[in-house]
Amino acid sequence: MAANPTSPPSSTLPLQDRVAIVTRATSGIGKVVVLHLASLAIVVHADISNLEQIKALFDAAEKAFQSQAHILIACARTEDLTLSSIANSTVEHFDRILKVNTMGTFFCIREAANRLKRGGGGRIITFSGTFLNGYLLGFAIYSATMKATEAMMKVIAKELKGTKITANYVMPGVIETESFNEHKSEETVKVYTNASPLLRLGKPKDVAALIGFLVSDDGEWANGQVITLDGGASL
């Protein structure tokens, strides 16, 4: 999804005339991020594991707004709800998760590195989750595919030296999205709620506020960082 803000969301976050591409922008965190950043948007459906569709996504943004994109926010990823052990996982299952989470992110950030506007305001942001650091049972494949994207983001921040394009990796904790509410029992929700010193679940707007800062001029000094956003639950 490409978005071009026509008015800044606040006086401290001026994004006038900047074009942002947000993947998975029709639901969850991506949707709230778009609403936070922009008042004008176009919707482009794309499979991020398909390189040609990623190229078409950038083409559509450039054509619609007559400008290079300034910002890539890659929210799209696939979760592994099977919770399979490594021994019981199939090659086909691993390949499916790998194509979206690792290859898809690679396609997105590679295209961004080549096509985002240089000289100021360029931003690349990708996502994962704090539970990766816990090495939880059943999450081996998902964790492996997402840890690879963390490494890519740290390296791309160095590779883009001199372009004024920054790259950061955001790791939200438990966020109360539509998909979260669909798959979690009341007891599970209580456990996650009590894990945070703030005694609540994260909201998509919590993430959107951070993204709003990172893509602003004020957020330029944050670069090559893995940013945990979980209300203190991982302390």
Environment class of residue 8 by beta-carbon count within 10 Å: exposed (0-12), middle (13-18) or buried (19+)? middle
The residue among 146, 128, 115 whose CA lies nearest residue 75 is 128
- Tell me the pLDDT band of 180, cut-offs 50, 70 and 90: confident
Higher pLDDT, 95 or 36: 95
Residues with Cβ within 8 Å of residue 187, at least 6 apart in sequence? none
* pLDDT greater than 90 at residue 147: yes
* pLDDT greater than 70 at residue 234: yes
pLDDT score, position 142:
92
pLDDT score, position 39:
58
Mean pLDDT taken over the chain = 89
* pLDDT greater than 80 at residue 3: no
- Tell me the pLDDT band of 70, cut-offs 50, 70 and 90: very high
Task: Give the chain's largest Cα–Cα span.
Answer: 53
As a whole-number percent, the residues of the chain with pLDDT over 70 amount to 93
pLDDT score, position 41:
65
* Catalytic residue set: 142
- CA atoms of 116 and 74, how far apart (whole Å): 14
